[in-house]
Structure 1
Amino acid sequence: MTARQAVILAAGRGTRLGPLTLDRPKPLLEVGGRPLLLHILDALAGAGIERCTIVVGHLGDLVEREVAAAGVPLSLAFARQEALDGTARALAVARPLLQPGPFLVTWSDVYLEPAAFASLLAAARLPALGALLVNPVDDPWAGAAVYVDGDMRITRIVEKPPPGTSTTPWNNAGPALLDAWVWPFIEALQPSPRGEYELPRALAAAVEAGVSLAAVPVAGPWFDIGTPESLEAARRYAEARRRGKVRP
């Protein structure tokens, strides 16, 4: 079954971006002259998504107003995460608004080429219960190390491994294709050392329990916009793309 619905997690404060997010939420920071969240919504619509639930929190009213005024070609709903206690809890807030069947979930601070979402959705036709976008890095210590077998099936996910200890080049890129099997793993989560209920930990538990997840390499570049430096890198790429200096 092909997923036609998505959830965007857009509730966080973006504290590492400093003053940039004091009065403007991270999803509305501009990349290529357009708010990041609108790039994501356009890409999802282009990939075949028809309905999207956006989970808001920090400056959520502003997010809702600007998205509603943009006239994106999707059926939209908003859910509010009152306590900013992690991405797994954020996804759970959206659960009542989802229809039965698979759904794509993505972060509002991950900037990708539209083709990346299309490749993730195509994984719904593979013999797996879900899929996770992965990107190659020198050392996945800053994110989550994703171990795979020869068929790119995920065998293990290690969140925030100590630097230099991973033997896989694959990092959890964020967006995932999930279904109802994920809810028991979210409900069973314990808080991380940071005191948050984190979605990657739920996915790691699912893999450990035998849930079959496909690893889908990112098509094109990947930007995790969590710092002023990464935001500037995404902006430079978007400008080069606009000028035709890079191909998507």
Structure 2
Amino acid sequence: MTRAIILAAGRGSRMGELTAEQPKCFARLHGRRLLDWQLQALRGAGIERLALVRGYRGECFDEPLTYFENPRWQQSNMVRTLLAADAWLSAEACIVSYSDIFYSAATVATLSRVEADLAIAYDPHWHALWSQRFADPLADAESFRLDASGNLATIGERCQSVAEIEGQYMGLLKFTPSGWAQVRELLLQRGDEAIDRLDMTSLLRLMLQAGLPIAVSPVQGPWGEVDAADDLALYHRLFTPEALHA
């Protein structure tokens, strides 16, 4: 696998002043932007061709990448941003990354080796991290269950018990051109307004409802998602720069 796409069109308004003048992925963890950690992990996994879908403060990006645009980033959600990269998704297998996460090269490499048209990375040991991010982990965590064959069975529903959750999706996906063609067809059956409202977890649920199998790949090493400034403060305490460079 030689291609990866970072979805970086949204502002991330919950970050407050940290995104007032710059994209969310410019927030810094141990002196480096989230974007820098993502590019390091993707390149470390041997991915040579990198693209980014931009929107909010798109002029801030000057890395030598391939760029796609979501000019309607204010009126749409992440699935519209994903569709902006249709040319790459249709041409070759791609890793797709949220822009507000960090992860290891090993996680990318493991996901890329999954022999499936559609796959996502997840954290089976999610509760340890969520317990430090939230006073009540269930206030943020969503359902994540696997079926008998080890594929994704349910995702994105509210749960009453930790026992209902076998992991948490982490914002890293893999599409082959065949898998993307099925997802694209599913989306084209819906109107533009419905597509604009879709977030990625909702799309994954639609894929399951349509009978599309979604394979899963466990995270390897440190990772985190950044929804608020408090998350960055936590990750500074949890992970050393050396651990993130591994």
Normalised by the length of structure 2, the TM-score is: 0.82
- Would you say how many aligned residue pairs link Structure 1 and Structure 2? 228
Change (3 A) 1:176 1:54: same
In structure 1, runs of 5+ residues without a counterpart are: 69-75
1:134 counterpart = 2:122:
yes
Secondary structure of the corresponding residue to residue 52 of structure 1: strand
* More strand by percentage: 1
CA distance in 2, matches of 1:5, 1:141: 35
Partner of 1:33: 31
Normalised by the length of structure 1, the TM-score is: 0.82
1:78 counterpart = 2:67:
yes
1:104 counterpart = 2:62:
no
1:198 counterpart = 2:232:
no
The answer as to whether partners of 1:141 and 1:164 remain within 8 angstroms in 2 is no
The answer as to whether partners of 1:133 and 1:215 remain within 8 angstroms in 2 is yes
Question: CA shift at 1:162, angstroms?
Answer: 4.8
The answer as to whether partners of 1:133 and 1:217 remain within 8 angstroms in 2 is yes
* Pairing partner for 1:174 from 171, 174, 177: 171
CA-to-partner distance for each residue in 1:50-95, whole Å, 9 max, x for gaps?
2122011111110x22x24xxxxxxx21111111211110010111
* 1:4-153 mapped onto 2 (5 Å cutoff): 4-62=2-60, 64-65=61-62, 67-68=63-64, 76-84=65-73, 85-98=76-89, 100-123=91-114, 126=115, 128-136=116-124, 137-138=126-127, 142-153=140-151
Residues 145-154 or 214-223, more deviating: 145-154
Q: Report percent identity of matched pairs.
A: 26
CA distance in 2, matches of 1:146, 1:162: 10
CA distance in 1, matches of 2:158, 2:87: 33
1:184 counterpart = 2:185:
yes
In structure 2, runs of 5+ residues without a counterpart are: 128-136
What residue identity is the alignment partner of 1:80?
E
CA distance in 1, matches of 2:121, 2:67: 24
CA-to-partner distance for each residue in 1:135-154, whole Å, 9 max, x for gaps?
13345662542210244211
Root mean square deviation, CA, Å? 2.5
Residues 6-15 or 148-157, more deviating: 148-157
